[in-house]
Amino acid sequence: MARIVILLGAPGAGKGTQAARLSKARSLPHVSTGDLLRDHKARGTPLGQQAKVVMDKGGLVSDALVLDMLAERVAAADCREGYVLDGFPRTDVQARALEQRLKPTDQVLVFELKVADESIVARAAGRLACRGCASTYNLNGAAPRKAGVCDACGGELYRRSDDEPAVVRERLRVYHEKTAPLVNFYRERGLLASLDGEQTPDAVFGRLDGLIPGKVKH
């Protein structure tokens, strides 16, 4: 049996932070479609070049492109016992495609992180990433010790283009139109649990981890 954990929520709701913590706590790979897309974009692959045009404007990359990247990743040996999905599915088409690919024995757990739009815009405005090691910081909370410099590797910190306020608001508009309906999609299947994402990361994680039965055995 594979355990598939799906995190829903607007861009900037904290899905990446919680997925990383769950991955470590439960020994499950953290599969972020955003990271997959950015990796392809940085490497200039054909898929990455297609994604760049859309991502830089705050839009959603096509379902087919995302599904191709994801299928390649979850076919790896380390995903055999399950994985934590971050940023997928984002559309009804993606959700149904994932549903069709899962085995009857797979255990699917879906969590919605609820955060107000204005809180997300504020979070994004303060978020910085390292060009060297991809570590992330936030000027509103976990700020670097030295302005503009990564604590971990000394690399340059920068704001990603998709964290600019105008882009964030466009991403939120797209989220409410395309992705928010998935809350009902999974609620109707009896798979959804909603959490208050406005709490501290530790509080959110405590609640999230507590809703997952047992520990994965290896």
pLDDT for the residue 36: 87
CB 144 within 8 A of CB 154: no
For the record, the structure tokens of 79 come out as: 């995903």
Q: How far, rounded to the nearest angstrom, does the alpha carbon of residue 153 sit from its chain's CA centroid?
A: 24
- Domains of the chain as residue ranges with CATH: 3-115+165-210 (3.40.50.300)
Q: How far, rounded to the nearest angstrom, does the alpha carbon of residue 192 sit from its chain's CA centroid?
A: 17
Half-sphere exposure of 184 (CA within 13 A, CB side): 5
pLDDT for the residue 68: 82
Segments of the chain with pLDDT less than 70: 215-218
pLDDT for the residue 216: 44
pLDDT for the residue 141: 74
CB 158 within 8 A of CB 178: no
pLDDT for the residue 213: 86
Question: Looking at the annotation, which residues are catalytic?
Answer: 15, 90, 127, 160, 171
pLDDT for the residue 215: 61
pLDDT tens per residue across span 77-105:
999 999 999 889 988 989 999 999 898 99
